[in-house]
Structure formats: C-alpha cells, structure tokens
Amino acid sequence: MGGLMQVIFDALSLGSLYALGALGIALIFGVMRLVNFAHGDVIAFCVFALLWPSVDAVAIIFAGNLPWFLLIPFTLAVGAGLSVLSEVVVFRRFRRANPATMMIASFALGFVIRYFLLMLFSSRPKSISLLPGLSQPVEILGARIPLLQLITILVTIAVLIGLTAFLRRTRFGLEMRAAAENFTMARMLGVRANRVIMGAFALSGALAAAIALILGSQTGTANIMMGASVMLMAFIATVIGGMGSLAGAVIAGFALGAIATVMQVILPPDARAFRDAFVYGAVILVLIFRPQGLLAARGTKERV
C-alpha cells in the first residue's frame, strides 16, 4: 500500500510540474496562437534572478536570501514581468505574422535570454539552497516523501482551482476565454486585445516562476539550460491535450508525469535508459488516434 502510494505521489508531483508548464504555454497559445518556446528560458531566468551576477564557481545569493513570504511574490513578479516585457518588446510586433514566424521569434527570444544569462553567470551551474525547509521527508498515507513533493502537488491543485475561478468568474477571465475561442470576434465585441494578451503573458510568466521555485528547491541548481526539458515535456502536453485547451494541457501534463513515473517503475533495468523513448512512443500513439489532441479547443477545430 505504502509502495503504491509512493508511486502515486511521484507521478502526481512530476505531473504537476508538467501541468504547470503546459498551462503556461496553452494560455498564450489560446489568445494569440503563439507557441512560446522562450517559456523554458523564462523559467531559468527566474531562478537566476535570485542570484547576483558573477562568473565565479560559488553563487552569490542575492534575492534568494529573502524570507519565503517575500521570495515567492518576488519570483512570481520577475516571471510575470519578463513575460510581459517579451510581449511588449517582441511579440506585439508579430501580432499579424503567421504562427510559424512567431514561433521562430520565440526561439530567438529564448536564445537571447539564455545567452544573456550565459554572459552574466557563465555556463557553470550554480548552487542555491532555496526554501531548504522543504527538503524534509514527511510521512503520509504510508508513503515517505519529501515535503516539497507534497507542496508541489498542493500548489498545483491550488493554482488550477484559482485559475479556473479566475477564468469562469471574473470579467477578465471571460474576456480571455472569449479571445481564446475567436480572437477577431472577441475584439469586435469590445474585448481589449492588448490587455487580454498582456494578462495571458503575465499569468504564463508567473506560472514559469512557480516552476522555477519548485525546480530550484528540488534540484538546488541554477543552470542556464534548466528550463529546456520541462519546456519540451510541457509543449508535448499542450499538443496531446489539444492546442489551446487549458483543461487538456493540464490533463496531458499529469498523464505524461504518470507515464514517465510508471515506465521508470515497470521497465527492466536495461530498458530504463530508454524510458523517454517509451514515453514519446505513447505520445505518438495518442496523436495517431486523436490527432486533434485529447480535448480539442473549440477555436482550433477545422470548420469544413
């Protein structure tokens, strides 16, 4: 029983990370059909924002020393700020460009952010003890898991509930959903496009910051490439979930986390090194049977 619970917690905590990432990508895709590949670099930037720029091997902790009740809002603000800035400076100019052009622009922006970090911090991974209190093991339902895993799951659930309430109960949320469904129509009906898009970018950036906090405290490392693997999984989750569908992205994120964890458990040792091949194999299967994704967003359906 304890063993099974352990696996469930492992799957949920990894899935949470992917779900948060997928949500960040799906939010922006929903309002402007942009697959933001700079998302992973925003994650890395948020972790590095806690350090003082230096190329020394030993990290100089700066904002990372703040108490948690200041640290968390600070990081979320950095993520949201950088994300909004990237919309104002870069993506706004591509509003009328086709999605492929915007995607390339997002790649370019990602490189700019990454090399900016490389310039300030060098390629050497930096160590940072973030929220060290979360590294304690706790006993729950017969499973012994790090406190952080539990917090990750709870935070993700809270974010999902909060976001759902925001999208369903507030005027801004309604505008955002309307824009996701049919952007042109929403604009004609008086939805202010820039405000909605900036809101989506801010939310997406804050979600990136949340991932940064979780990854930072889990791995204890700031690395300029650290967002890349989560970004890849999150992007795949948005595709499986159905591009633009927020609920689909979250479900697919959790599903990917569960598949990766279960594969690690059931594969024989020699095959475990190729775990990701099995995970991506499952992705291909899903796309063969449901090319539009698990939950296709209404706005993206072919209307022929």
Q: Look at residues 240, 204, 217 and name the one whose alpha carbon lies nearest to residue 86.
A: 204
DSSP, collapsed to helix, strand or coil, labels residue 242 as coil
Q: Which residue of 14, 31, 153, 296 would you call a contact of another protein, by CB under 8 A?
A: 14
Q: How many residues bind another protein (CB under 8 A)?
A: 51
Q: What is the identity of the amino acid at 11?
A: A
The answer to whether the beta carbons of residues 293 and 242 sit under 8 Å apart is: yes
CB proximity list for 274: less than 8 A, separation 6 or greater: none
By CB under 8 A, residue 230 contacts another protein? yes
By CB under 8 A, residue 281 contacts another protein? no
Tell me which residues in 126-185 interact with another protein (CB under 8 A): 127-129, 132, 135-137, 144-146, 148-149
| Location of structure tokens 């569960």 | 258
Q: What is the identity of the amino acid at 167?
A: L
Q: Which x/- pattern over 51-80 shows residues binding another protein (rule: CB under 8 A)? A: ----xxxxx-x-------------------
Nearer residue to another protein within complex by CB, 119 or 185: 119
Per-residue b or e along 236-255, where b marks 16 or more CB atoms closer than 10 Å to that residue's CB? bbbbbbbbbbbbbbbbbbbb
By CB under 8 A, residue 283 contacts another protein? no
Distance CA(59)–CA(107), nearest Å, equals 28
Q: Which residues bind another protein (CB under 8 A)?
A: 3, 6-7, 9-10, 13-14, 17, 55-59, 61, 118, 122-125, 127-129, 132, 135-137, 144-146, 148-149, 215, 218-221, 223, 225-226, 228-230, 260-261, 264-265, 269, 272-273, 275-276
